């Protein structure tokens, strides 16, 4: 009977330790995943900035090309329709650059939300592991008491 109780107690302790270990492992995994998401968000920010910069450079080259064409044809680029077209192209180019930045910001926001949810899941898993461990200890203690009473 003594060995049986000892084995039941050991099994109960192992079950509780396993539950806590699983919670700690889930928390560590969530922390790692959170860091990956943080890095992805930073990379998206860098890509967005770079792509917007590239777009603005394209805008400048297009404007310079247009000015050269107008000059080559003898038109005054600073007045009338030519000026309106240049302004329209400049606005459209800047709109495109800002659209790139906005899309990157939306992606960053999504990644940051995923990161927060991952952290919350990890914390919840760790807390749940303590409840599972407590439950295992109570169940084991109850089984031992029943066995001794039998």
Q: Which of 28, 30, 23 is closest to 134 using CA atoms?
A: 23
The 10s digit of each residue's pLDDT in 94-129 is 999 999 999 999 999 999 999 999 999 999 999 999
pTM summary value: 0.72
Q: Which residues contact 149 (CB under 8 A, 6 or more apart)?
A: none
Compute the distance between CA of residue 150 and CA of residue 143 in angstroms, rounded to an integer: 11
Instruction: Report d(CA 97, CA 58) in Å as an integer.
Output: 10
Stretch among 26-35, 91-100, 133-142 having the lowest mean pLDDT: 133-142
Tokens of 5: 């109780």
pLDDT at 69: 82
Q: What is the rounded CA–CA span in Å between residue 65 and residue 44?
A: 31
Domain ranges across the chain? 41-121
Between 145 and 25, the more confident residue is 25
The mean per-residue pLDDT over the stretch 17-39 comes to 93
The whole-number average pLDDT for the span 22-42 is 94
- Contact call for residues 74 and 115 (beta carbons, < 8 A): no
CA 112, 118, 121 angle in degrees (round to 5)?
145
> What is the rounded average pLDDT of the residues 10-22?
89
Per-residue model confidence (pLDDT) at position 1: 65
What pLDDT sits at residue 99?
97
CB atoms within 10 A of CB 121: 16
Higher confidence at residue 67 or residue 53?
Answer: 53
pLDDT score of 150: 63
Say what the pLDDT of residue 38 is: 95
């Amino acid at each position: 009977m003594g060995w049986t109780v000892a084995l039941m107690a050991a099994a109960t302790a192992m079950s509780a330790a396993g539950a806590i270990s699983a919670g700690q492992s889930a928390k560590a995994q969530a922390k790692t995943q959170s860091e990956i998401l943080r890095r992805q968000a930073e990379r998206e920010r860098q890509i967005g900035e770079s792509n917007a910069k590239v777009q603005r450079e394209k805008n400048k080259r297009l404007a310079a090309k247009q000015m050269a064409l107008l000059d080559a044809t003898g038109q005054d680029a600073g007045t009338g329709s030519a000026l309106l077209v240049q302004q329209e192209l400049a606005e459209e180019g800047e709109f495109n650059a800002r659209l790139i930045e906005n899309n990157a910001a939306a992606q960053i926001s999504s990644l940051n939300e995923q990161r927060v949810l991952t952290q919350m899941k990890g914390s919840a898993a760790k807390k749940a592991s303590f409840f599972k461990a407590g439950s295992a200890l109570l169940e084991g203690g109850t089984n031992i008491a029943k066995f001794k009473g039998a």
